[in-house]
């Protein structure tokens, strides 16, 4: 791994912790070619490294964190998203049969 | 019952049927009385109901990270989202596209050979 990417990662995680976030996990999703050419900070990029950071933080710091990420020149595109595993998997009962006979005629009140 | 039939032996047919029906009602009293409360049908939901059919994505956790699953719902030529009515899939696809995980105008060529999920017929 390049020392520049390591330095950039360290910077972002330190910024996270300064805002009172508890970092749980850091994952490297690999370095690959971007799906489309992204332009950021007056430069265009075709490939980049993907990193995923799990952290706990109060919701008020999200805005300032996004601001920080947009200002960092090493970060092409930074996003903060709710953790998908915290959402409960709602039990899907299946395809509920819709009574189509009721939908055949519109129930709008027509003026005579 | 037998005694009644013997008496009606000489009468006409119509009167005979009247007497026979009268005799029937007398010997079987349950035809004209209200059934007891134990015999009424118990209200319950249909026990022979089949379980509802499930779709492909019923139990699955849809994540913006598994690009392969999301690419199965995208057109290979234009990148249009097939299942627009499946709101969770559409949200995840948009998220992945904006975050730089999935291409927008085409389908990732690595996932072109994935099994077909949407029943869309392409022009051959």
Q: What pLDDT score does A57 carry?
A: 87
pTM of this prediction?
Answer: 0.68
Asked, for residue B91, whether it belongs to a domain, the answer is yes
Domain count, chain B: 1
Contact residues, chain B, for A94 at CB < 8 Å? 51-55, 58
Q: Report the largest interatomic distance among the alpha carbons of chain B, rounded to a whole angstrom.
A: 102
**pLDDT greater at residue A45 or residue B50:** A45
Asked, for residue B20, whether it belongs to a domain, the answer is no
**CB-CB under 8 Å, B63 with A84:** yes
Asked, for residue B34, whether it belongs to a domain, the answer is no
**pLDDT greater at residue B123 or residue B38:** B38
Domain A3-78 listed as CATH 3.30.70.60: yes
**CB-CB under 8 Å, A81 with B54:** no
Q: What pLDDT score does B27 carry?
A: 56
Cβ atoms of A56 and A42 within 8 Å: the answer is no
CA distance A112 to chain B (A): 36
CA distance B73 to chain A (A): 17
pLDDT tens digits, one per residue of A102-112: 888 888 888 87
Pairs of CB atoms within 8 A across A/B: 49
Answer yes or no: is pLDDT of A37 > 60: yes
**CB-CB under 8 Å, A94 with B63:** no
Residue B32's pLDDT band (cuts 50, 70, 90): low
Which chain A residue has its CA at the smallest distance from B109's CA? A35
Q: What pLDDT score does B23 carry?
A: 53
Summarize the confidence of residues B55-67 as an average pLDDT: 80
Q: What is the ipTM of this complex?
A: 0.78
Asked, for residue B37, whether it belongs to a domain, the answer is no
Name the least confident of A12-16, B17-21, B37-41, B97-101.
B17-21
Asked, for residue B45, whether it belongs to a domain, the answer is no
Contact residues, chain B, for A76 at CB < 8 Å? 100
Answer yes or no: is pLDDT of B41 > 70: yes
Q: What pLDDT score does B115 carry?
A: 80
CA distance A84 to chain B (A): 7
For residue B99, what is the domain's CATH number? 4.10.640
Q: What pLDDT score does B7 carry?
A: 52
Asked, for residue B101, whether it belongs to a domain, the answer is yes
Asked, for residue B22, whether it belongs to a domain, the answer is no
For every residue of chain A, DSSP letters joined together read --HHHHHHHHHHHHHHHHTT-EEEEEEEEEEEEEEEEEEETTEEEEEEEEEEEEEE--TTHHHHHHHHHHH-SS-S-------GGGS--PPP---PPP-HHHHHS-------
Q: What pLDDT score does B11 carry?
A: 52
Per the structure, the complete domain to which residue B96 belongs is given by 50-117
Phi-psi region at A94: left, alpha or beta (left = phi > 0; alpha = psi -120 to 50):
left
All structural domains of chain A with their residue ranges: 3-78
């Amino acid at each position: 791994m390049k020392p520049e990417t390591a330095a950039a990662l360290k910077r972002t995680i330190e910024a996270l912790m300064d805002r009172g976030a508890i970092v749980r996990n850091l994952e490297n999703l690999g370095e690959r070619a971007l799906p489309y050419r992204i332009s950021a900070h007056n430069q265009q990029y075709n490939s980049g490294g993907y990193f995923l950071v799990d952290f706990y933080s109060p919701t008020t710091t999200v805005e300032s964190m996004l601001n920080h990420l947009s200002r960092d020149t090493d970060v092409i595109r930074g996003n903060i998203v709710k953790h998908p595993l915290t959402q409960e998997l709602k039990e899907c009962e299946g395809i509920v049969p819709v009574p189509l006979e009721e939908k055949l005629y519109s129930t709008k009140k027509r003026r005579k | 019952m037998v005694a009644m039939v013997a008496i009606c032996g000489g009468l006409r047919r119509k009167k005979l049927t009247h007497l026979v029906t009268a005799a029937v009602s007398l010997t079987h009293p349950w035809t004209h009385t209200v059934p007891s409360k134990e015999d009424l049908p118990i209200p319950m939901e249909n026990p022979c109901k089949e379980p509802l059919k499930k779709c492909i994505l019923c139990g699955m956790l849809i994540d913006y990270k598994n690009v392969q699953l999301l690419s199965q719902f995208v057109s290979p030529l234009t990148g249009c989202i097939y299942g627009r009515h499946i709101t969770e899939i559409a949200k995840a696809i948009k998220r992945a596209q904006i975050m730089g995980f999935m291409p927008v105008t085409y389908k990732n060529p690595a996932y072109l050979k994935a099994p077909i999920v949407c029943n869309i017929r392409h022009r051959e």
